Amino acid sequence: MQITSTRQRPIKETPYQKIKNSKIGRSVRDHKVGAGAASVAASAVIAGGAFQSDTFARVARYGIVPAAGTGVAVLGAAAVHDAVVNDVGENNAKATAKIALGTAAALGGTQVVGMAFDLPILDRAFTGVVFDHGQALLGGALLAGAGAAGKAAVSQFGKLSQDGSNKPAHAALGTGAAVGSVAAGLAGAELVGRDLGLPVLDRAFTGTLEFLAGSPAAAVAGGSLLVGGAAVAATHAGKNLISGSGNDYATAAMLSGAAAAGLGGLELAGHGLGLEATRGLFTGHAGEVGGLALSAFGGAVARHAAGHLRENGIGPLNSLGLTIGASALGAGAGVAAWSWGASEASRLLSNGTTAIAGAGLGLSTYAFGKKAVESARAGKLATAAFHGTGAAASAAGSLYALGSGLGIQALEQAGDRVIDVTVRPLAEHIIGPSLEFLFKNPALGGLGLAMVVGGFAYHQWSKD
C-alpha cells in the first residue's frame, strides 16, 4: 500500500522532458522570478496595444492569445503524458500533482483558444469541466483511487502464495485494500452518475448502503468488513508513524479512512444487530471525522516540510509548508472540538492556531530574507526584490497573526505598519507605475521588453 517508491527505472525522453531540458526550459527554471515578471510585463504591453489599436486588438485576439493558449495546452498535455510515462508507479504523489496541474493547463489553454475564435464546447473547456462537472471530476479521482487500491489488494493477495510468516498480514492488507477499492469505486461511480444523469450509477453508493442497512445480515457483514479494513489501515498507519517510513500523505489518508470506515462500520453493524449504542457513531460525528482528516493531512504537510528543512536548511517553500501544515493541524482540532460542542476549547485552539501561523510566518520571514541577501550578493536584483517583498509580507503577516492569536493589539498594528512602509510603497510607486507605463506606451514597452529578453537570451545561450 506504499504510495511512493525509490526510482528504479530511468527517466524516458518524453516531449515534456525535451521542453524542460531545452535551453529555454533551463533558463525559465533557473530564473523563475524574471520569467514571471517578463510575462506580466508582456501582458500589460499586449493589453495596452489592444486597447489603443483595433488592428492590434484583432492581431492579439486571433494570433497572440490563441498561440499562447495553444502553448499552455500543449505543455499541460505533455506534462500529463510525462507523469504517466515516468512518475506513475515511481512517485505517485508527484504523478498526481503533475496530472492535476497538467490537465488544468491543457483545459485552460484550450478554453483560451475556444474563446478567441468563439468555438462551441472549447470555449468552456476548463470552466465547463471544473464548475459544471465538478462532481464527475471528483468521481473520476475516486475511481482512479479505487483502481490503485484494487491493484494493491491484488498485490497483497498474490503474496499469500509465497513462503514466509506474514501471510495473515498480507491477507488483512489485501482485504482492507479490496474493501477500500470497492467503496471508492462505488462512491466515484455515483458522483459521475449524478453529474451526468446516468440511471443506476447515480445511486451506486447510497443504494448499496441502503441495501446493506435494509438487510440485518448484510449490514453486519458489510460493517464487519469496514471495521476490519479500518483496523488494517490504522495498524499500517501506526507502523509508518512509529518507524518514520512510508509516505506521509498516504499515512494521513489511511488514518482518516480508518476513522471514517471504523465508525461507519460499527454504526452499520450495530444497525444490523439492533444496537442503539452504535446509532450515529459516524453520521452524528462527521464533523469530528472531517476535523481529524484536516489535522492528519496538516500533520503530513508539516512533517514533510520539516524533513525537507532538516535535509536542505531553511527555505521559503519548506518554511511556508511547515506553517501551512501546522496551521491545518490546529485548525482540524478546532473543527473537531466545535463539532463536539466544545466551543471554548475550539476558540482556544483557533487562537493557538493563529499564533502558530504567526510563528511559522516569522520563520518564513527569515527564509525569504536570507534568499534576498544571497540573490543580491549574486547580482540577481529582480530575485532579491521578489524575496525581499516576500520577507516583508511574511513579517507583516507574522506580527498580525501573533497579535491576533495572543490578543496583543500592538502587534497587529505593527503588522499594518510593516505593510505601509514596505509592500504598499513598492506596489504604488514601482510596480503599479511600471505596468501603467507599459499599458499606455505599448510600442516603447514592447521594444524595451524585447531588448531585455533578447539580451538575456543571447547572454545565456552564448555561454553554452
Q: C-alpha dihedral over 405, 406, 412, 413, to 10 degrees?
A: 170
Residue 166 · residue 157 · CB < 8 Å: no
Query: Out of 65-69, 263-267, 377-381, 457-461, which region has the weakest mean confidence (pLDDT)?
Result: 457-461
Does 375 score more than 70 pLDDT? Answer: yes
What lies within 8 Å, CB to CB, of 436 at 6+ separation is none
Residue bearing cell 488544468: 104
pLDDT number for residue 211: 83
pLDDT number for residue 291: 87
**H helix runs in 159-215, sequence order:** 167-196, 204-214
Does 361 score more than 50 pLDDT? Answer: yes
pLDDT range class, residue 6, cuts 50, 70, 90: very low
pLDDT number for residue 354: 92
pLDDT range class, residue 285, cuts 50, 70, 90: confident
Residue bearing cell 501544515: 325
Residues 313 and 363: their CA atoms lie apart, in Å, by: 12
Does 464 score more than 60 pLDDT? Answer: no
Residues 25 and 11: their CA atoms lie apart, in Å, by: 17
Please choose, from the candidates 190, 274, 188, 278, the residue with its C-alpha nearest in 3D space to the C-alpha of residue 227.
278
pLDDT, average across residues 154-179? 73
pLDDT, average across residues 136-142? 81
Residue 291 · residue 339 · CB < 8 Å: yes
Residues 27 and 38: their CA atoms lie apart, in Å, by: 13
Residues 141 and 88: their CA atoms lie apart, in Å, by: 15
Angle between helix 409-421 and helix 381-406 axes, rounded to 10 deg: 160
pLDDT, averaged across the chain: 85
Strand positions, DSSP E, 321-429: none
Domain regions of the chain by residue span: 1-132, 295-421
Does 2 score more than 60 pLDDT? Answer: no
Query: Out of 71-75, 241-245, 255-259, which region has the weakest mean confidence (pLDDT)?
Result: 241-245
Residue 4 · residue 304 · CB < 8 Å: no
Residue bearing cell 451506486: 204
Does 296 score more than 50 pLDDT? Answer: yes
Q: Please give the radius of gyration of the chain, using alpha carbons only, rounded to the nearest integer.
A: 27
**pLDDT tens figures, 254-280:** 788 788 888 888 988 998 898 988 888
